[in-house]
Amino acid sequence: MTEAAPLPGRPRGGVLSGPATARAVNVLAPNPSAMTLDGTNTWIVAEPDSDLAVVIDPGPLDEAHLHHVVATAEQAGRRIALTLLTHGHPDHAEGAGRFAELTSTKVRALDPALRLGDEGLGAGDVVAVGGLELRVVTTPGHTADSLCFHLPADRAVLTGDTVLGRGTTVVAHPDGRLGDYLDSLRRLRSLTVDDGVHTVLPGHGPVLEDAQGAVDFYLAHRAHRLAQVETAFENGHRTASEVVAHVYADVDRSLWPAAELSVRAQLEYLGEHGII
């Protein structure tokens, strides 16, 4: 008798909301769905002895949730000093404007359209607030504006939708591109090898305790799906919808529209590389 294979990334059990590392606390937004899993993870990040905090992804425009985030920080004796966005999808960013009003903070993002204030975010930037250090890692692929935030002191990375706590993410074609996404996963893997990152703080789902295992699973999954799409195309399934019906036959049909976005990205990638 053999033991069941461990889940990729060793997801942490227990309640999703609450402290995740010495510096990161999650406040789960009340927007569960097939696409958002248990809901959006809104992260409050601060040095343990600091009275200043950074919030990453305020989440949807839900007044009760936004007030709950503020109250959670205040109960810990902290004032929110800055708001950051991993990307512009509404389940992460729709509430940012209202949250900025509640906290009198600026909003920093890669996409200028999402910013409130003069400062954006880019590769290699370091965000420093109250002794806290967050390093910006550009990770396009899920969307063109996707970012991750490396938290060196906790050997953790906040991944938005680039790596989820459960399942795999969508390459949201045409904004998202598969080649970019694969490069981004390799960039995250280098953090696990070169910088000792072992914890994933995702935008949805539970915390992952094995960052390298999670990224390796994502890379293997993408390679497997790409091979399936190539085979389906060679067997005469030429449109994205035909490929989805063939390759994703065992997946809940409510997820097929999202799967079709990824398939379009895969077909584009195969075409660009002269494979189909």
Architecture of domain 18-212: 4-Layer Sandwich (3.60)
Provide the pLDDT for residue 209: 97
* Structure tokens given for 47: 């040095």
- Reported as a single tens digit per residue, the pLDDT across 43-62 is 999 999 999 999 999 999 99
Provide the pLDDT for residue 15: 77
pLDDT of residue 4 exceeding 80: no
Q: Which residues pair with 257 in a beta bridge?
A: none
Provide the pLDDT for residue 3: 47
Mean pLDDT of 233-250: 95
pLDDT of residue 14 exceeding 90: no
Provide the 3-class DSSP secondary structure of residue 90.
helix
Distance CA(74)–CA(227), nearest Å, equals 50
* DSSP code for 208: B
Provide the 3-class DSSP secondary structure of residue 204.
strand
Under 8 Å between Cβ of 47 and 151: no
Alpha helices for 169-255 (secondary structure H) = 178-194, 211-234, 240-247
> pLDDT band at residue 184, thresholds of 50, 70 and 90?
very high
* Structure tokens given for 153: 């002191």
pLDDT of residue 2 exceeding 80: no
- Nearest Cα residue to 127 out of 211, 187, 53: 53
Provide the pLDDT for residue 257: 95
Longest dimension (CA), the chain: 61
- Reported as a single tens digit per residue, the pLDDT across 167-177 is 999 999 999 99
Distance CA(152)–CA(192), nearest Å, equals 11
Per domain, the residue ranges of the chain are 18-212
Provide the pLDDT for residue 5: 63
